[in-house]
Structure 1
Amino acid sequence: MTETPHLSLKFEQLEKAKQIAQNSVPKIQRVPHHLRDRENFAKHYLPRLVSIGPIHHGAEKLQLGEKYKLMWAAMYLERTKQDAQTLYQKIASNIEQLKDLFAEDVIRDFPDDEKLSWSWMLFVDGCSLLQILEKGELQDPKEMNVKVDQLVLVWQDVLLLENQLPYHVLKLLSDHEDDAKLVKSMNEFLKCHHLSPELRSKKQDIGNSMTKDEHRALDEEGYTSVYVKNEDILHGEHKIEISQESPIHLLDQLRRYVLDDPHKKQKNETGNVKKEDQNTNEDLDMTTYRNIQELRAAGIKLKRDKSRRRLRDVSFSYRWMCLCAELTLPQITVDDTTTPTFLNLIAYEMCPDFKNNFEICSFVVFMDSLIDHPEDVKELRAAKVLHNALGSDEDVAKLFNTISADLVPDMESYLHVRRQIEKHYRSKYRTWIALGYHTYFSNPWAVIAFHAALVVLVLTFIQTWFTIHPIG
C-alpha cells in the first residue's frame, strides 16, 4: 500500500501518542464540556466581577474588575514595600515555564501570545490575588477599597476552576520567605468559607485559657504541616524553591483544607473499607434505605461531629450496649455559595490530569443518598448537622439532588459506613431495639413518661390483684 505524506504523518502521531507522559501536576484548564453543558450549570463556572488568569481575561463584562485588579496590585506593592519592576522581571524571566502550567487550549486561545502580555497579566493578577488573600476580609471591605457586596463576588470568583493562578506565580510575587507562611495566608482567607473545618472554633473553645505562646502553637498546628521537602520548580534568573506538597492553586488548597490534607493516604472510619470487610457482606452492597426519614424510622439517630475538622468525617456506631444507633456527620452550612463551590470542586476532581480519590464527589453523592425530601433536611437541621442559610428546606434538598446528578464517586468511599447502616436497617431486632430506645429513652421527658407509665401499670396490676384476692 502506498502511503501519502499526510497518512504517514497520521501514523507518526499515532506512534507518539503512547509516549505522552502524564503531567506531574494538573494544569489550569477549562471546565469539561460534559459538566458545563448541563442545564443551568454554566453560570456557576463564570466569574461575575474579576477574572484571574488567562481564560476569562479581557471579557467585556469584567472591565470593572480589571480596574480593581490594578488598584489592588498597587496596594499590595505599597504595603509589602516591593519594587514593581523587580517583581515583574521575576515573572518575565520564568514566563515559558509558567505558561506550561496552563492547558494547551488555554495558551492557544489567549488573545495575545506575546511574552509581554502573558507576563503583565500574571504579574497584575498575581499581586492583586495576594492582596485579596491577605486583606480581603468581608468584615472590613475598606481594606480593599470596595463595597462589601463587591467583595463577596470577589470571594466567589477567586474560587472558580477557570479563575486560578498557579501557586508558583504567587510564590514568585509573595513577600513570604517560605511556603508555610504563604499557605497559612491562604488558609486564613479560606477560614471563613462555609466548608471550612473552622479551626477558630477550636480556639474559641479553649482560647480563654491559652497563653500567647499556646495560641501561636495552635496556629502552627493548624496551618503548617508537611511543607518540608523542596525542589527547584522554575528555572531562570530568579529561582525559587517550591515544596512538593505545595497546593496547585487556591481552589486546590480549599479542597485540601476542607478534607484535612487528603494526600495523607489513610484508611479510616470515614468510609474506606477495612481489610476484614473486603471479602464479606457482599450482599449488603445493595442499598435498600432511601433517605433520612427511613433511617429515623429504623431507629438511627443523627449526630453532629463536634470536632468539625474534616468534611469526610462520617461514621456509624452503637451506644449503650447497642441500644442506640447513631450516624455521625460533619456540620455544614448551605448558602448561596454552596452550589458554585461544590460544582467547581467537583469539576476540579474530574479534570483528566488530576489524580485523586473523588472525595468531594463521594461526599456529595453520600449526602444525596440521605436527602430526598424537605423533611430529610429538617431532620439534619434538628440534629444541628446542617445550617440552612439558603432558603427553604425544599431548596436545600433540590440543591443536593441537582449537583449530584451524573457523578461517579469512589466506590470505596463510605462503603464501610453504608454497610453498617444497611446491616442495621435489615436487622429487625436491632431496628426494634433502637427504635424503642429513641421512642422511650431519647430525652428526659420520654424517660419520665416511660417510668410514669410503668408505675401506673404496676399500680394497676397491684390494684387488680387485691381486688381479686382481697386481704382477709
Structure 2
Amino acid sequence: MTETTQNSSSLAQKFTQLQNATKTTQNTIPKIQKVPHYLRGREHFAKHYSPKLVAIGPIHRNDSNLELGQKYKLIWAAMYLERTNQDAKNLFQKILSNIGRLKELFADDVIEKLTDEELSWMLFVDGCSLLQILDKGKPHASQEINVKIDQLVLVLHDILLLENQLPFDVLKLLSTHGDDDTLLIRSMNNFLECNHHLSPRRPEIGQGTTKDEDRELAEDGGYVSVYIKNEDTLRGEHIKCPFHLLDQLRRHVLDDTDQSKTNNQNTNEDCMTTYRNITELRAVGIKLKSTESRSRRYISFSYRWMCLCAELMLPEILVDDTTATTYLNLIAYETCPDFENKFEICSFVAFMDSLIDHPEDVKELRKAKVLRNALGSDEEVAQLFNTISADLMPNPEIYSKVRCQIEKHYRNRWRTWIALGYQSHFSNPWAIIAFLGAIVALILTFIQTWLAINPVD
C-alpha cells in the first residue's frame, strides 16, 4: 500500500469518527474513575486525593507506599468471612461470574491492565475488607479491625476518597443481606454517622414508627427501600441506591430524603451581590442562626417581629482536620463528567466562601453556634474555605433566592436601620432593660423639666 493510500485511509477514518461523535451516548451512571486532572494538579491539593494507608480498588493498587495496607486488607477480609460464616471460594466465584457487568462500572483506563481474574480477586478482597470496616470500624473500638487508633484514622480517611471507591453492586454481591439493599445502606449510614459527625437520619419506615408515620415517610420518598406497612403484608418498593460510599456521604450531607425546605428555587430577579462577608451582614443588622438540620440545603433568610429582625439561617458545620479532604473529594465527584448533578456541594462551599473572608467572620459563626472549630485558629478556618473554593463553578440557581433576599436587605436603608435598631436594643434581655431604662429616664427628665417650667401651686 502506497503512502498516499495510507494517508487517504487514515483521513477517511478520521471523518468516520467525526460523523459518529454525536452518536456517543453519555453514561447513565458515574464510573469509578480518577480525579479530574485540573483539580488534582492544583498546588497543595494532590495530597487530599491520595490514600495514606489503604488502596481500595484498582487506581492505587500498585502504590509501593501502601504495602502495609495490602496486608491489612487480607486480615480484614478474613475477619469478615469468619464473622459472617461465608465461604471464600463461593464469594470469589460470585464476583468472577459477574465480572463482565462489574467492569462496566469502572473507567477503561483504570482496569485496562487487569485480567478478569485479577480484577475479580481485587474486588473480592477489597470488598470484604470494606464491609468489615463499615460494620466494625469504630473510633472507640479500633481493635475490632486489629489496628491501632492512629492507623484507624488513616483508614477512615482513605475509604472516602473518590479514587478509593468500590461500586455498591460489589458490596451487595459480598454482603450477607442478599437483595435487601436497605440493610446495606443502613450499615453505610451508621458508619458515616459514627465516624463523620453526621446527624442521624429520620426513622426508616417500619423501624419503630406507627402506620400513619410509615405512610407519611413513604410519601416523602428516600434512597433506601421504602416499606409500606399494613396488617397483612410488607411490600418493598426499591428507590435509588447509592453508587458507592462517597455517593452515600454526599446524599447524607445533602439529606436528599427531604427537599421540601430547600432554597434551591430559581428566581427571575437578577441580583448582583454587593455584600462581602458576615462582618458586613452583621453591620446591616442581619443576625446569624443555626438550623436544626445539618443538611447543606437548609439555608434561608427571613424577617421576624414585623420585619424588625433579619435572620440568616445556616446549617451547623464542624470543621476539623478531615474537612478539606472530605469537601474536595465531594467536589471532585460532582465534577466527574458522567455524574449528572446540580453541584450542590460546590455551591455550598462557594456560598460559605462568600460569607467568610477574615477570622472575624469565623468568630461570628462560632458565636452563633453555626460553626464548630475543631481545626485550630479562626484564621485557619477562613483560609480553608478560601482555598477549597478556588476555581469552583457553583450552580447559580442554588441559593439564588437567599442571595437576592440578602441583597435587597443590604440595599434597603430603612430596613437596615430598623434591623440595626432591633439588634441594638432588643436582641437580648440586657439590651431591652437598658433601652427601657433610657426611655424611663427620658420620661422622668421630661416630667422634671415640665414641672420646673410649670410649678404646681
- Scaled by the length of structure 1, the TM-score of the pair is 0.88
The 8 Å contact of residues 278 and 361 in structure 2, kept in 1 or not, is answered as yes
Which stretches in structure 2 are left out of the alignment for 5+ residues?
A: 227-236
Q: Aligned with 1:303: secondary structure?
A: strand
CA deviation digits over 1:214-234, x for unaligned, max 9? 59999x9699934449xxxxx
Please tell me the residue identity of whatever aligns with 1:170: L
Q: Aligned with 2:310: secondary structure?
A: strand
The 8 Å contact of residues 45 and 160 in structure 1, kept in 2 or not, is answered as yes
1:19-168 equivalences under 5 Å are 19-108=23-112, 110=113, 113-168=114-169
Q: Relative to structure 1, is the Cα distance of residues 269 and 53 closer, same or farther in structure 2, using a 3 angstrom cutoff?
A: closer
**Residue number in structure 2 paired with 1:286:** 272
Provide the rounded CA distance (Å) in 2 between the counterparts of 1:94 and 1:309: 39
Provide the rounded CA distance (Å) in 2 between the counterparts of 1:434 and 1:224: 39
Which of the residues 272, 281, 286 maps onto 1:295?
281
Structure 1 position 441, deviation (Å) = 0.4
**Residue number in structure 2 paired with 1:352:** 337
Q: Aligned with 2:31: secondary structure?
A: coil
**Residue number in structure 1 paired with 2:231:** none
Please tell me the residue identity of whatever aligns with 2:357: D
Q: Aligned with 1:301: secondary structure?
A: strand
Q: Relative to structure 1, is the Cα distance of residues 224 and 52 closer, same or farther in structure 2, using a 3 angstrom cutoff?
A: farther
Which of the residues 369, 381, 384 maps onto 2:354?
369
Please tell me the residue identity of whatever aligns with 2:151: Q
CA deviation digits over 1:378-402, x for unaligned, max 9? 0000000000000000000000001
Provide the rounded CA distance (Å) in 2 between the counterparts of 1:430 and 1:258: 34
Structure 1 position 269, deviation (Å) = 4.0
Provide the rounded CA distance (Å) in 2 between the counterparts of 1:76 and 1:331: 36
Which of the residues 167, 174, 181 maps onto 1:179?
181
**Residue number in structure 2 paired with 1:270:** 263
Structure 1 position 268, deviation (Å) = 4.7
- Scaled by the length of structure 2, the TM-score of the pair is 0.91
Structure 1 position 58, deviation (Å) = 2.5
1:169-318 equivalences under 5 Å are 169-177=170-178, 178-194=180-196, 196-199=198-201, 213=208, 225-228=222-225, 245-261=240-256, 268-273=261-266, 277-278=267-268, 281-282=269-270, 285-306=271-292, 308-318=293-303
Q: Aligned with 2:190: secondary structure?
A: helix
Q: Relative to structure 1, is the Cα distance of residues 144 and 345 closer, same or farther in structure 2, using a 3 angstrom cutoff?
A: same
The 8 Å contact of residues 265 and 401 in structure 2, kept in 1 or not, is answered as yes
**Residue number in structure 2 paired with 1:442:** 427
Provide the rounded CA distance (Å) in 1 between the counterparts of 2:148 and 2:321: 19
**4+ residue runs of structure 1 moved beyond 3 angstroms?**
212-218, 220-229, 266-269
The 8 Å contact of residues 305 and 330 in structure 1, kept in 2 or not, is answered as yes
The 8 Å contact of residues 298 and 435 in structure 1, kept in 2 or not, is answered as yes
Provide the rounded CA distance (Å) in 2 between the counterparts of 1:455 and 1:10: 88
The 8 Å contact of residues 194 and 334 in structure 1, kept in 2 or not, is answered as no
Which stretches in structure 1 are left out of the alignment for 5+ residues?
A: 204-211, 230-241
Q: Aligned with 2:139: secondary structure?
A: coil
**Residue number in structure 1 paired with 2:453:** 468
Please tell me the residue identity of whatever aligns with 1:318: Y
Q: Aligned with 1:270: secondary structure?
A: coil
RMSD: 2.4
The answer to which of 19-28 and 338-347 deviates more is 19-28
**Residue number in structure 2 paired with 1:11:** 15
Q: Relative to structure 1, is the Cα distance of residues 470 and 453 closer, same or farther in structure 2, using a 3 angstrom cutoff?
A: same
Provide the rounded CA distance (Å) in 2 between the counterparts of 1:43 and 1:88: 33
CA deviation digits over 1:40-63, x for unaligned, max 9? 000000000000000000211100
Q: Aligned with 2:120: secondary structure?
A: helix
Provide the rounded CA distance (Å) in 2 between the counterparts of 1:243 and 1:332: 31
Q: Relative to structure 1, is the Cα distance of residues 312 and 18 closer, same or farther in structure 2, using a 3 angstrom cutoff?
A: same
Structure 1 position 195, deviation (Å) = 5.9
The 8 Å contact of residues 223 and 240 in structure 2, kept in 1 or not, is answered as yes
The 8 Å contact of residues 192 and 198 in structure 1, kept in 2 or not, is answered as no
The 8 Å contact of residues 194 and 333 in structure 1, kept in 2 or not, is answered as no
Q: Percent identity, please.
A: 63
**Residue number in structure 2 paired with 1:233:** none
The 8 Å contact of residues 334 and 389 in structure 1, kept in 2 or not, is answered as yes
The alignment status of 1:340 with 2:325, answered yes or no, reads yes
The 8 Å contact of residues 194 and 332 in structure 1, kept in 2 or not, is answered as no
Structure 1 position 192, deviation (Å) = 2.8
Provide the rounded CA distance (Å) in 1 between the counterparts of 2:42 and 2:31: 23
Provide the rounded CA distance (Å) in 1 between the counterparts of 2:309 and 2:199: 27
The 8 Å contact of residues 254 and 297 in structure 2, kept in 1 or not, is answered as yes
Provide the rounded CA distance (Å) in 1 between the counterparts of 2:210 and 2:138: 21
Q: Aligned with 2:324: secondary structure?
A: helix
Q: Relative to structure 1, is the Cα distance of residues 224 and 187 closer, same or farther in structure 2, using a 3 angstrom cutoff?
A: farther
**Residue number in structure 1 paired with 2:372:** 387
Structure 1 position 331, deviation (Å) = 0.2
The 8 Å contact of residues 275 and 281 in structure 2, kept in 1 or not, is answered as yes
Structure 1 position 8, deviation (Å) = 1.8
Provide the rounded CA distance (Å) in 2 between the counterparts of 1:97 and 1:15: 29
Please tell me the residue identity of whatever aligns with 1:287: T
The answer to which of 87-96 and 46-55 deviates more is 87-96
The 8 Å contact of residues 223 and 242 in structure 2, kept in 1 or not, is answered as no
Q: Relative to structure 1, is the Cα distance of residues 332 and 309 closer, same or farther in structure 2, using a 3 angstrom cutoff?
A: closer
Provide the rounded CA distance (Å) in 2 between the counterparts of 1:387 and 1:355: 32
Q: Aligned with 1:191: secondary structure?
A: helix
